[in-house]
Amino acid sequence: MRLLERMRKEWFMVGIVLAIAAAKLEPSIGVNGGPLKPEITVSYIAVATIFFNSGLSLKTEELTSALVHIKLHLFIQIFTLAFFPAAIWLFLQLLSITPINEWLLKGLQTVGCMPPPVSSAVILTKAVGGNEAAAIFNSAFGSFLGIVVTPLLLLLFLGSSSTVPFTSIFSQLFMTVVVPLIIGQIVRRYIKDWLERKKPPFGAVSSSVLLMIIYTTFCDTFSNPNIDLDKFSLVVILFIIFSIQLSFMLLTFIFSTRNNSGFTPADTVAIIFCSTHKSLTLGIPMLKIVFAGHEHLSLISVPLLIYHPAQILLGSVLVPTIKSWMVSRQKKPLQTMLPLANV
């Protein structure tokens, strides 16, 4: 299963490149008013499909066992949805005086506002042998929380650049995000046994729909002759994203391993991945709604499109190192107890 998940993610990365290339070759197909009618098929049907799919796949019935770790959950959610976006905002105040493309910088802020992903943090925590129950809880709870908090954060830090009125943004979020998610959870209660037996390809469905959203977003970009993305800005943003990832992983590690933190090594593993990972699956549809009609939407989306593979790549590379650290830390209490047992 882990190999299949890894292959799916690799093909999805290829799919992103192909979707952007296809949009470059023939943008007229996916623009608003074009043959695909993205103002209907993407803004409503595709987004609703992703969140209905999320509602079906979220195993909320398994989260009750993790509810007792309140301190752990508070740490992850506050870091993800408060500290992360605030720190990025402060950092961007310094970067605003540089020649980096301003819309890519705004895109960095949107990354900070995103909720945690449903899958990648859980998969990496499990690969290390960390607190998987805590990772599942915080990924699922963060996704639910992000439905409300993320749009508010986007409007707080960036303002609404959409041509759609504020009330319409939240009514569309409710109808295309909240309602399908709730319906998916209700349906899951009745067909849970069938879902466990058949294990439908939820990831593949969401990825396919997401590629369609990415394609139509870039169709709008390439059909606009006034938009220009310089290579310097793109390279710098790539470097910044990897630096942010590593810095925040190190920061969460330092905070969670202090003597008075109260966290176990397994908890620290879940904290490192859940606090620093951001959801592309939930993020792109939300950007599509909040920045509906904005000519620079695709540029704003670029940092999130880069952050997604970066977090998986860095996480996978660091799995052996984090695992060896966790095993060594878990052995220490046993080593200190052995002499006492011989007394």
Q: Per the domain annotation, does 342 fall within a domain?
A: no
**Which tops the pLDDT comparison, 9 or 235?**
235
Going by C-alpha positions, the residue among 302, 218, 304 that lies closest to residue 19 is 218
The DSSP line for 272-316 is HHHHH---HHHHHHHHHHHTTT-TTHHHHHHHHHHHHHHHHHHHH
In a domain, 286, yes or no: yes
- Average pLDDT (193-220) is 80
Q: What is the CA radius of gyration of the chain?
A: 21
> Could you tell me if residue 341 is inside a domain?
no
More confident of the two residues 230 and 239: 239
Q: Over 80: is that where the pLDDT of 272 sits?
A: yes
In a domain, 339, yes or no: no
Quick one: CA torsion of 185, 189, 194, 198, rounded to 10 degrees? 30
Residue 40 has pLDDT above 80, yes or no: yes
CA–CA gap between residue 232 and residue 206 (Å, rounded): 32
Residue 163 is given by DSSP the state S
Q: What is the pLDDT of residues 288-343, one digit of tens each?
A: 878 877 778 888 888 988 888 788 888 888 888 998 998 888 776 545 444 444 44
CA distances from 17 to 191, 306, 309 (A): 36, 11, 12
Chain centroid, CA 246 distance in Å: 16
What is the average pLDDT across 190-203?
A: 83
Tell the residue number behind the tokens 């540029």, with chain if given: 299
Highest mean pLDDT among 64-68, 94-98, 136-140: 94-98
- What's the rounded Cα separation, in Å, for the pair 76 and 132? 14
- Name the pTM for this structure: 0.75
How many Å from the N-terminal Cα to the C-terminal Cα in the chain?
47
Mean pLDDT of the chain, nearest integer: 81
CB of 249 closer than 8 Å to CB of 93: no
Which of 74-78, 184-188, 276-280, 332-336: highest mean pLDDT? 74-78
Domains of the chain: total: 1
Asked whether residue 332 is domain-assigned, the answer is: no
Which own/partner pairs from 59-65 qualify as long-range (CB within 8 Å, at least 24 positions apart)? 59/136, 59/140, 60/140, 60/185, 61/192, 62/133, 62/136, 63/136, 63/137, 63/140, 63/141, 65/133
Structure tokens at 308: 């997604």
Query: Does residue 185 lie in a domain region?
Result: yes
Residue 336 lies in a domain: no
For residue 311, the domain's CATH number is 1.20.1530.20
Whether 333 is in a domain gets the answer no
Q: Which domain holds residue 299?
A: 1-327
Give Cβ neighbours of residue 329 (< 8 Å, ≥ 6 apart): 265
